[in-house]
Chain A
Amino acid sequence: MNVQVFRTENTSCDVPSVISLVNAVQYFFVAHNDIAAVVLPEHLIAEPLMQPKAVTAFVRTTIVSGHQPSSELNILLTGALLPISDNRPTFLDGDIAIISSHFWRAADEPATFRYARHILQLALSMIVKHTSVVRSCIAALQDDFDCLCYDCEQQLVALGYRDGIASLKDSFNILNQLRSGATLDVAHRKSDLLQGELKLADHYTRELQREQASLSKHKILVVLHFLSDLVPFVKALNLLGCGFSDIYLIAKPYPYARRDEVTHVLQSMGVNVKRSLRGLTVEECCEKVLTNLSTVGLPADYHLLIIEDGGYFAPLLHEPRFSHLLSRCIGVVEQTQKGINEDRKIHELAVPIISVAGSAFKKSYESPEIGRVAIQNISRFTPNVKLSGRHACVFGFGSVGQEIAFHLTNAFNMAVSVVDPDLAALLRARHKRSIVAEAQLKFEDLQFRSPALIVGTTGTNSITGPILRQLGADAILVSTSSDRVEIDIAALEQLAGERITQVVEGKTTYDIGTKDQPRQITLLAEGYPINFYGSESLPNDTIDPIMTLLLLCAVELTLKHDRKNQIDVDAVAEVVTKRHLIEEFLKFA
């Protein structure tokens, strides 16, 4: 949500400081100050008692209505005396609010802090609907606040917020310190995301700038993980000429460790961010973006460019209703196999798709890292579970599956069974005796069908309902694949009925047995890829070459317009070779 904050002329207020404080203590909305001091008309000021409704009407018709980009909430700060019921300093009229400091005394609390507190209250009250009896809740719009009530917190959770909630709770402490005399320094915990960097991507950005490669006049639609590496990646796109407001980012519903913070930082830059959540899928978010672009229309000299993870925009863009946008699209860079699988379903491909997913470099470099992080996170969720000496089952023996099997054997001291319907993979698994105890095409053919841990790495629905029914007394389910495709969660829920318990965030138990034969399945990370759940996955320095590859492939699409409309894996290898990617990365690694 965007909140526009401005002041009346002659009202003494350090608006930038107010904005800075507001943005430092929460991630739910971005406060801006793009509107100059408002000059209220003489007839309003001359009134014996200025009416707030008259002021909001004036602001709406003469200030806000023509302002672009529009904001969901517009707040006027003023020192004017306004008759507001119950002597409140805030007046809310639709999307326009007034905060009056008329009766404030500097000795009580500096106006900057008080303005900030009231902006927080107003904006939060727009995001959630406060209904509880907790009058001191920030969203209750009372004189003061000191907490976030449980009901409002649950509404924020339902809206997909996670780290933002924890951060807001921390901020109550900061706001209390400010009230008690602390200086603004305590609030200046500027996000370290802005300092994050991708050294290799920066290197190539400079190189591309020297070559005068440009992403200007491109609308770039991006579906990538909302991890800290996304911020320097977006900065690189911008350095190559793409305006922040020309970048459209879709946030997946994964509970990334810093999803809200990343969103906030990107929105502060001016990037368009749409957040998917339980009731709003990634596909629907993408559809909204495309519909909006269709409605507004692309400028005549603009092109579309897609960088995605999971095959969302590309199939949608091929629907007849978006044909006018499709004709303006220069291509797609896809980074996952799941996305490529989706793209293969497109009837007549009308744009080139560069498949980073299929590149040998990505497989050989990234997969071991993914496997390692997945194992770290399994440990994080199972601190009191004895896995050593027990059996594990890994579905899929691709590059990630192999790494998982390796670590489960060596780090967890488990015996690993592998299931892979692909004969070549099966052959590989059976010849990795040091890390694979047995390998079969089907789960039913395994000798050990009561594993303590099951990990899906196939990118498809591998852990199906029938398999779930065959599991032993206790089993832990984990996925490393995109979205929630790996495990049939609907079947799991059906088996458990109402006997589902969330133990902690990211750890849910499903009782699927009978009274005589109890069986409990524990699902980790809600079935999302465990490497991303509440985690930063890979460090920036580790993921750097993959992000760089996405960037270079995107630029390649702008450099060469006569590419065939096909899914192209070779292009990635060409980029790796042409740009000496490995050699350059070794200088940083």
Chain B
Amino acid sequence: MLDPAIYDYIKSADANSDLSARHIIGEQFANWFDWRYNFRRNTALYLRLIWQSWLEQPLVWQSKPQYLARSFAVLLCEHLGAIAQIALVSREAGLMPLLRTWWYEFVELTKEVPNMPAFLHQLQPDEQKEMFEMVSNLLPLLRWFEQRFEVKCGVANLTERLSPQYDRIAEHVVALKQGRVILEGIVDPTRLHLALLQDLAGAHPEVSTEVAYIYSLQNCYQQHRL
């Protein structure tokens, strides 16, 4: 489905990378899809949660530029319009100053994540440079995801299709926080999860909430299977 020119570009741009183009594209797609359709473009929440998860993994600490590039690239999806404005300016003169500005935004959005300041503190200047170059190489891919993915993959209006009417979502969040299992239909489990996380605002949920959430999903699953 992907434009061959973009595949070729990623392949040639990262010719010196240990990662294959297919791997880079696949990983970036997973991150972008998650942010776009599951987190519904809530960049702050997405970054906070994904980095909470990633920083538990030793591999991430060993491959800082790669993981930073993936998540920073997601943030840049919010700025593709501005990037288009500098399409005719060289990377050094046009994109790089903007990347530095948006990098501060990225740092700000992730500073509350435990261990993130230490992680970024360990980032060496040449690693940061490498990361910026990786991110800039990903931009055509991100533009393709944003502009062409739904049409080329025949999933037009996917956001709307993934957003059925869910009038009682607020009530369900309250129920979960109170440790009550939801017995009626959960219209959109992903949205419920997102709403709960937003409500928690980064705090760890109570054990009762976690148990209620698991049983609610189990109940929903069984209802649908029946």
A residues lining the B interface (CB < 8 Å): 8-12, 40, 45-51, 78-81, 83, 85-87, 101-106, 111
Residue contact A48 to B3, C-beta cutoff 8 Å: yes
- Residues from chain A with a CB closer than 8 A to the CB of B143 are 47-49
Considering the chains assembled together, what is the distance between the CA atoms of A8 and B6 in angstroms? 23
Q: How far is the CA of A442 from the CA of B137 in the complex (A)?
A: 83
B88 engages A49 (CB within 8 Å): no
Please tell me if B101 contacts chain A, counting CB pairs below 8 Å. Answer: no
Q: Contacts A48-B143, A49-B143 given; indicate if A80 touches B87 (C-beta within 8 A).
A: yes
Whether B40 is near chain A, meaning CB under 8 Å from some CB there, is no
Docked Cα-Cα span, A48 to B6, in Å, equals: 8
What 0/1 pattern do residues 109 to 152 of B give for CB contact below 8 A with A?
00000000000000000000000000000011101100110000
In the assembled complex, which residues on chain B have CB atoms less than 8 Å from the CB atom of A80? 87-88
Within 8 Å CB of B87, what residues of A? Answer: 10, 45, 50, 80-81
Of A48, A83, A103, the contact of B148 (CB 8 Å cutoff): A48
Chain B residues with CB under 8 Å of A101's CB are: 90
Contacts of B12 in A (CB 8 A): 83, 85-87
CB distance from A87 to the nearest CB of B (A): 6
Q: Determine chain B's interface SS by DSSP, over half rule.
A: helix
Contact: B5 with A83, CB < 8 Å?
yes
* Chain A residue with the shortest CB-CB distance to B137: A81
Contacts A45-B88, A80-B87, A87-B15 known; list 4 others, CB within 8 Å. Answer: A12-B90, A48-B6, A48-B141, A48-B144
On chain A, the residues within 8 Å of B13 by CB distance are 87
B84 interface residue (CB < 8 Å to A)? yes
Name the B residues within 8 Å of A105 (CB-CB): 92
- Highest count of chain B CB atoms <10 Å: which of A45, A46, A48, A83: A48
Closest to A47 in B: B143
Cβ–Cβ < 8 Å partners of B26 in chain A: none
List which B1-46 residues lie within 8 A (CB) of chain A: 3, 5-6, 8-9, 12-13, 15
Q: Give bound CA distance, A104 to B84, whole Å.
A: 19
Q: Bound complex: CA of A575 vs CA of B140, how far in Å?
A: 73
- Hey, which chain B residues are within 8 Å of A46, CB to CB? 84, 147
Across-interface contacts of A87 in B (CB, < 8 A): 12-13, 15
Q: For residue A49, which residues in chain B have a CB less than 8 angstroms away from its CB?
A: 3, 5-6, 9, 140, 143-144
Which of A11, A81, A86 is B91 in contact with, Cβ under 8 Å? A81
Q: How far is the CB of A403 from chain B (nearest CB, A)?
A: 63
Given contacts A49-B9, A49-B144, A87-B12, contact A79 B3 (CB under 8 A): no
Interface residues of B in 86-102 (CB under 8 A from A): 86-94
List of B residues within 8 angstroms of A78 by Cβ: 88
Closest to B94 in A: A79
A106 to B94, CA, bound (A): 13
Known: A12-B93, A48-B6, A83-B9. A40 touches B88 (CB 8 A): yes
Complex contacts, B86 vs chain A, CB 8 Å: 10
Summed over the interface, the residue pairs from A and B with CB atoms below 8 Å come to a total of 69
Interfacial chain B residues near A104, Cβ < 8 Å? 90, 92
Distance of A20 Cα from B54 Cα, bound (Å): 54
**B-side contacts of A45, CB under 8 Å:** 84, 87-88
The interface centre, meaning the residue of B13, B84, B88, B141 with most chain A CB atoms within 10 A of its CB, is: B88
**Interchain residue pairs with CB less than 8 A apart (30):** A9-B88, A10-B86, A10-B87, A10-B88, A11-B89, A12-B90, A12-B93, A40-B88, A45-B84, A45-B87, A48-B148, A49-B5, A49-B6, A49-B9, A49-B140, A49-B143, A49-B144, A50-B87, A78-B88, A80-B87, A80-B88, A81-B91, A81-B140, A83-B5, A83-B8, A83-B9, A101-B90, A103-B91, A104-B92, A105-B92
Distance to closest chain A CB from B189 (angstroms): 32
Instruction: Give Cα distance in the complex from A208 to B195, angstroms.
Output: 91
Q: Is B84 touching A79 in the complex (CB atoms < 8 A)?
A: no
Nearest B residue to A44, CB-CB: B87
Closest to A79 in B: B90
CB closest chain-A residue, reference B6:
A49
Report Cα–Cα, A106/B93, bound state, in Å. 9
Q: Could you tell me if A102 and B90 are in contact, using CB atoms closer than 8 angstroms?
A: yes
CA distance in complex: A201, B15 (Å): 64
CA distance A78 to B147 in the complex (A): 24
In the complex, which of the residues A48, A86, A103, A111 contacts B147, with contact meaning CB atoms closer than 8 Å?
A: A48
Minimum distance in angstroms from A103 CB to a CB of chain B:
6
Considering the chains assembled together, what is the distance between the CA atoms of A395 and B120 in angstroms?
91
Residue of A at shortest CB range from B86?
A: A10
Residues of chain B with a CB closer than 8 A to A86's CB: 12
> Could you tell me the distance in whole angstroms from the C-beta of B91 to the nearest C-beta in chain A?
5
Which residues does chain B contribute within 8 Å of A81, judged by CB atoms?
Answer: 87, 91, 139-140
User: CB-nearest residue of chain B relative to A85?
Assistant: B12
Q: Name A37's closest neighbour in chain B (CB-CB).
A: B88
Residue of B13, B15, B94, B148 with most chain A CB atoms under a 10 A cut-off: B94
A78 to B8, CA, bound (A): 21
Q: Which of B8, B88, B144 contacts A79 (CB 8 A)?
A: B88
Most buried by B among A49, A50, A103: A49
CB distance from B14 to the nearest CB of A (A): 11
A358 shortest CB reach to chain B, Å? 63
Contact A11 B88 (CB under 8 A): yes
